[in-house]
Amino acid sequence: MTRISVRVDGASYQDDVEPRTLLVHYLREQLGKVGTVVGCDTSNCGACTVHLDGEAVKSCTVLAVQADGAEVTTIEGVSRGGELHPVQKAFHEMHGLQCGFCTPGMIMASIDLLQDNPDPSDDEVREGIEGNLCRCTGYQNIVRAVQLAAGEMRGAPASDGHVAPAVVDTAAAPHVVGQA
Amino acid sequence: MTALEDRTEAPAPEVGKARKRKEDARLITGRTTWTDNMVLPGMLHLAVVRSPVAHAKITSVDVSAAADAPGVVAVFTGRDFAEEQGSIPCAWPVTPDMVNPGHPSLAVEEVNHVGEAVAVIVARSKAAAQDAVELVDVDYDPLPVVLDMEEAVAEQPDLCHDHLSSNESFRFVFDAGEAGTGQNTDEAFANAEVVVSRRFVQQRLIPAFMEPRAAVVQPQGDNYTMWSSTQVPHILRLMLAMITGTPEHKLRVIAPDVGGGFGGKLQVTPEEVITLLVARRLGKPVKWTETRSESLMSAHHGRDQIQYVDVAADREGNIKGLKVHILSDMGAYLRLVSPGVPVLGAFMYPGIYKFPAYRFDCQGVFTNKTPTDAYRGAGRPEATFAIERIMDELAVELGMDPLELRRKNWIKAEEFPFTTVAGLEYDSGDYDAATQQALELLGYDELREEQRRRRESDDPVQLGIGFSTFTEMCGLAPSRVLGSLSYGAGGWEHASIRMLPTGKVEVVTGSTPHGQGHETAWSQLVADELGVPFEDVEVLHGDTGISSRGLDTYGSRSLVVGGAAVVSASQKVVAKARKVAAHLLEAGEDDLQFESGSFSVRGTPGTSISIQEIALATFAAHNFPEGMEPSIDADATFDPVNFSFPHGTHICAMEVDTETGFVKIRKYACVDDVGKIVNPLIVEGQVHGGLAQGIAQALYEEAIYDADGNLTTGTFVDYLVPSAADLPHFDTGNTVHEAPGNPIGAKGVGEAGCIASTPAVVNAALDAVRHLGVTDIRMPLTPERVWRAIHSGGDGGDRATAGSNAYGGAQTETTAGVSTEASSLGGDR
């Protein structure tokens, strides 16, 4: 067993882990951060994507011991002060999810993409998230969501605060014309 | 009672609004309840030992080393459960003499495919259980491996099950002449001026839902609660009771958040049975969660048919007859509806065309591969592919425009309802209107002009345009029809409406969602029916303890059947509330009008009472109509009298690089008629997702076995689920012809995109290179296949070069990816 110190979603943890423990298993099984999920065993699907010191990583490809001393942000830590992150909000607005299993990883990858490229073209979005698989949406609404968030983030300052599930507005989506 | 305020405009109906989904709140914040998230005190973890060989007798199993490993609590083999595990059920005996070899959850005497479960480790942690898998020593005595369907039904084949006399499970024939729904097919062909025959290969696919399967069982005395990532908690509960002898009323099955299914979780799996048996044996909560590799090799696969299709016509392009013979790979065992998949397709091969004669003949074939079963569309994509491909081939033979040939033969708008040669009554639609709209969406004329330019200039990148004008049968299903097809259950759906004292509404539905947005769409239905705010409705589902009756979600049935039950139950609530309102308003029931959720007396402005106030009055029950029980809650079970028949026109424009074989979708436009649209946002999303999977069959996905029966596409490295970069933008539209068979008018949308798109894509690629002599390219259209079809002829052969890693094996006529010794370096051993 190896002792690690890690900050996850704003809280500090010290734990003993087996050297072979993957970061995603540490997050899910030791910290109960089950918002982050495992979708494959070959680092293809990206469902387990989290941020390690601000960069997107597939947490099934990182050992827990490699996160020693690092700051980890999961899907459970991106909304602040009861406010959804613009990317979370945009996935909802644009129906960028159906079953929602890939969504945590997809959102974390999209946030990272927009940090690197705040004003991507549609093709750049598609290439930017190609490490994350979604089986439900056909990706078109994910691309729309990332573009919506990109616009909002270019004009909005980052907020800070307490982590909590946010209220979701279920009003009708304006971009789809209702049936006459 | 409230004074009637100045009446303003009634709120816009909820049905038709693009409501953003209620479900999203938990999904975008990671506050989800996937089965694998479940942790219970004292919970033990399972890991399954799986067969590395495709066909063998089990001569011995030594579990001693595994049982002694640290953290291991128990190890069970098939023998330990032989008396109580029964057989995985097949609910669809499609013929009276169908052969079912039986399907133990844990193999006892023999294994029949790679990945079959032979033992299970129970340990304190998942890691300890998985570590011990390696320590189980199983001796196998190998038997011949049957992989190729055409060889399997030829003379003197090796046997997939050595205790059976052949590899054929069933032979299902539908002959329109004999059924009285059409003319004699042989005569039609004998008299025809033109006959076109083709052999199409529907490659084996894997549903590849994103959430790996998981099951948790908690024993409490003689009661058992199972959480499972299933599409079908109600069916699962019933089947587990029948298989394991656990009484039905002692079993509760919960499908919590479920991460996709696509038919892949329409199953009663060996692992669910094993999890229940282990929990029952040990009296401890246990959890099983698969890895992706386990999922790809042991969860059921889809498609895998060889189709021999003959079409007869006259020289003017009037179709005269259709003959279809298919070999349908069951894999090693029959699962829940394995035989029913090709039979569902049987009635859809005539498509939207007025064939006077039709014969369908299907052999279900056993091979030593993972069993096949439902995958998005289940039989209908195969049928649609065959008819839409052969119509293009017929057009080529006749020198006709493919759309002109279709138009000449399809059912006209004024001919609905139309009874087809397969005996189905198509409900409503307008194929011409959908096609016109799709042509405009695509920008057809411009692309045809570009195609001409590229051809004339001999451009290395050629352009093609492919059509798919399709219909499908949805809303599974009328119970009597299912009965006539020997299906083991009905097709009704159930709903309950519970009016809470505060006026909030609980809707219980028997249709269990896994991404379809039931919570949102059902809320819209109920908000309109009861006149209550959308936000005041909560939809409960997926728990047999809460939703006692249901037949779950598959076959694009949820809205068409389950939604109809919700509407019907809502109407019963209103009828009961009307009696209470009449009593409280001291008026006759017939004098009441119900509008925007309130009852008022017609012609007497001033007083009204809302249904939400009636809910409170019912709770108190102080002042209630004489002889009426104090409840306005209601149940309803809806059983449709007919299927619904969505249709549409899908058009794909495809660029083919003739120098590299690389294909790229230039533009994809489709117009679907799914009847009444309850939520356009959800409908569009369903179409997108279906398109992605249908296009993936055409271009990317293929489950390949090597000559020994090893799945060589056993991870997401090799099994190519497309990424965002692999798929185009979709231009989608709708026409609306309401379904007459349900009170909503909806037709079903879950499978449409997947059923329609595959032939449009292949037809487009062929249209681009047909002038180069290419007549067919086998799916998926990998660059290498396309290149070979252009430069070497044929259908492009196997997926990659022999000996390369992407190659599963050598070419045989029938099955992509059966290796020879020369190619034995290929694949993933």
**What average pLDDT does range A134-161 have in this prediction?**
86
Q: What are the strands, taking DSSP E only, across B404-540? A: 418-419, 425-426, 461-471, 493-499, 505-509, 537-540
Complex prediction ipTM: 0.95
Give the per-residue pLDDT at B604: 87
Q: Which residues, in sequence order, are bridge partners of residue B195?
A: B312
Return the structure tokens found at B615. Answer: 């809910």
What range does the domain containing B102 cover?
A: 40-143+208-298
| Chains A & B: contacts with CB separation below 8 Å | 223
Helix axes B680-699, B752-769, angle to 10 degrees: 40
Give the per-residue pLDDT at B127: 96
Whether cis (ω within 30° of 0) applies to the bond prior to B417 is yes
Same domain, B11 and B104: no
Contacts 24+ apart (CB under 8 A), B476-480: B476/B554, B476/B555, B476/B556, B476/B557, B476/B561, B476/B643, B477/B555, B477/B557, B477/B561, B477/B640, B477/B643, B478/B639, B478/B640, B478/B641, B478/B642, B478/B643, B479/B639
Identify the residue with better confidence: B825 or B27: B27
Contact list in B for residue A142 (CB cut-off 8 A) is: 724
**Cα of B613 vs its chain's centroid, Å:** 42
Phi, psi of B106 (to 5 degrees): -115, 125
Return the structure tokens found at A108. Answer: 């974390």
Give the per-residue pLDDT at B100: 98
CATH number of A2-76: 3.10.20.30
Amino acid at A38: V
Q: Which of B30, B259, B723 sits opposite A36 (nearest CB)?
A: B30
Phi, psi of B251 (to 5 degrees): -120, 135
Give the per-residue pLDDT at A156: 57
Q: How many angstroms away from the CA of A80 is the closest CA of chain B?
A: 11
Q: Is the pTM of this model over 0.80?
A: yes
* A173/B19 CB distance under 8 A: yes
The CATH number covering residue B539 comes to: 3.30.365.10
Amino acid at B91: A
E strand or H helix that includes residue B145: none
A99 in B contact zone (CB under 8 Å):
yes
Contact (CB, 8 A) for B459 and B677: no
Domain boundary (B261, B282, B298) is at: B298
Return the structure tokens found at B245. Answer: 């002898």
Q: How many angstroms away from the CA of A155 is the closest CA of chain B?
A: 22
Q: Which residues, in sequence order, are bridge partners of residue B216?
A: B227, B287
pLDDT, one tens digit per residue, over B524-555 is: 999 999 999 999 999 999 999 999 999 999 99
Residue B78 within any structural domain of the chain: yes
**What average pLDDT does range B64-68 have in this prediction?**
98
pLDDT, one tens digit per residue, over B167-220 is: 999 999 999 999 999 999 999 999 999 999 999 999 999 999 999 999 999 999
Residue B568 within any structural domain of the chain: yes
> What is the maximum alpha-carbon separation in chain B?
90
pLDDT band at B605 (very low <50, low <70, confident <90, very high): confident
Residue B704 within any structural domain of the chain: no
Give the per-residue pLDDT at B475: 85
Q: Is the dihedral of CA B787, B788, B789, B790 positive or negative?
A: positive
Q: How many angstroms away from the CA of B678 is the closest CA of chain A?
A: 8
The yes-or-no verdict on residue B809 having pLDDT over 90 is no
Same domain, B9 and B135: no
Contact (CB, 8 A) for B531 and B490: no
Buried b (16+ CB within 10 A) or exposed e, B434-472: bbebbbebbbbeebeebbeebeeeeeeebbbbbbbbbbb
Return the structure tokens found at B22. Answer: 């209620």
Q: Which residues, in sequence order, are bridge partners of residue B509?
A: B495
pLDDT, one tens digit per residue, over B385-400 is: 999 999 999 999 999 9
Same domain, B116 and B228: yes
Q: Which residues contact B820 (CB under 8 A, 6 or more apart)?
A: B707, B802, B809, B810
CA distances from A156 to A77, A85, A159, B39, B159 (A): 19, 11, 9, 39, 67
The yes-or-no verdict on residue A172 having pLDDT over 80 is no
Residue B586: CB atoms within 10 A of its CB come to 8
* B516/A98 CB distance under 8 A: yes
Contact list in B for residue A42 (CB cut-off 8 A) is: 292-293, 715-717
Please give the Cα distance from B95 to B527 (Å, whole number).
45
Please give the Cα distance from B172 to B759 (Å, whole number).
25
3-state DSSP helix/strand/coil % of chain B, to nearest 5: 30, 25, 45
Give the per-residue pLDDT at A171: 75
Nearest to B653 by CA among B822, B454, B824: B454
Q: Which residues, in sequence order, are bridge partners of residue B474?
A: B644
Q: Is the dihedral of CA B163, B168, B169, B171 positive or negative?
A: negative
The yes-or-no verdict on residue B816 having pLDDT over 50 is no
The yes-or-no verdict on residue B828 having pLDDT over 50 is no
* A42/B34 CB distance under 8 A: no
Residue B663: CB atoms within 10 A of its CB come to 26
Same domain, B220 and B266: yes
CATH number of A86-155: 1.10.150.120
**What average pLDDT does range B225-229 have in this prediction?**
98
Domain ranges of chain A: 2-76, 86-155
pLDDT, one tens digit per residue, over B463-490 is: 999 999 999 999 888 999 999 999 999 9
Return the structure tokens found at B603. Answer: 């012609």
Q: Is the dihedral of CA B614, B615, B616, B621 positive or negative?
A: positive
**What average pLDDT does range B257-277 have in this prediction?**
98
Give the per-residue pLDDT at A3: 98
A60 in B contact zone (CB under 8 Å):
no
Q: How many angstroms away from the CA of B77 is the closest CA of chain A?
A: 26
* B724/A98 CB distance under 8 A: no
Which of A73, A137, A170 to substitute to test the interface with B, most B CBs within 10 Å?
A: A170
Q: Which of A101, A175, A180 sits opposite B211 (nearest CB)?
A: A101
Domain count within chain B: 2
Contact list in B for residue A131 (CB cut-off 8 A) is: 723
pLDDT band at B814 (very low <50, low <70, confident <90, very high): very low
Mean pLDDT rounded to a whole number for chain A? 91
Please give the Cα distance from B261 to B7 (Å, whole number).
47
Residue B16 within any structural domain of the chain: yes
Same domain, B10 and B45: no
Contact list in A for residue B681 (CB cut-off 8 A) is: 95, 173, 176
pLDDT band at B793 (very low <50, low <70, confident <90, very high): confident
Nearest to B174 by CA among B97, B93, B95: B95
A112 in B contact zone (CB under 8 Å):
no
**What average pLDDT does range B441-445 have in this prediction?**
98
Q: How many angstroms away from the CA of A5 is the closest CA of chain B?
A: 22
Residue B726 within any structural domain of the chain: no
Give the per-residue pLDDT at B11: 80
The CATH number covering residue B213 comes to: 3.90.1170.50
Residue B720 within any structural domain of the chain: no
Q: How many angstroms away from the CA of A35 is the closest CA of chain B?
A: 4
Residue B156 within any structural domain of the chain: no
Contact list in B for residue A39 (CB cut-off 8 A) is: 210-212, 292
A80 in B contact zone (CB under 8 Å):
no
Give the per-residue pLDDT at B9: 65
Q: Which of A18, A137, A174 sits opposite B685 (nearest CB)?
A: A137
Mapping DSSP to helix (H, G, I), strand (E, B) and coil, where does residue A60 land? coil
Domain boundary (B592, B612, B638) is at: B638
The yes-or-no verdict on residue B566 having pLDDT over 80 is yes
Contact (CB, 8 A) for B384 and B351: yes
Amino acid at A157: P
* B24/A140 CB distance under 8 A: no
Same domain, B499 and B572: yes
Same domain, B621 and B512: yes
Q: Which of A35, A135, A170 sits opposite B20 (nearest CB)?
A: A170
Q: Both ends of chain B: CA-CA distance in Å? A: 75
User: What percentage of chain B reaches a pLDDT higher than 70?
Assistant: 95
Same domain, B222 and B258: yes
pLDDT band at B800 (very low <50, low <70, confident <90, very high): low
Give the per-residue pLDDT at B794: 87
Give the per-residue pLDDT at A176: 58
Give the per-residue pLDDT at B492: 97
E strand or H helix that includes residue B252: strand B251-254
Question: Looking up tokens 């029916």, which residue turns up?
Answer: B529
Residue B667 within any structural domain of the chain: no
Give the per-residue pLDDT at B799: 65
pLDDT band at A81 (very low <50, low <70, confident <90, very high): confident
Please give the Cα distance from A60 to A63 (Å, whole number).
8
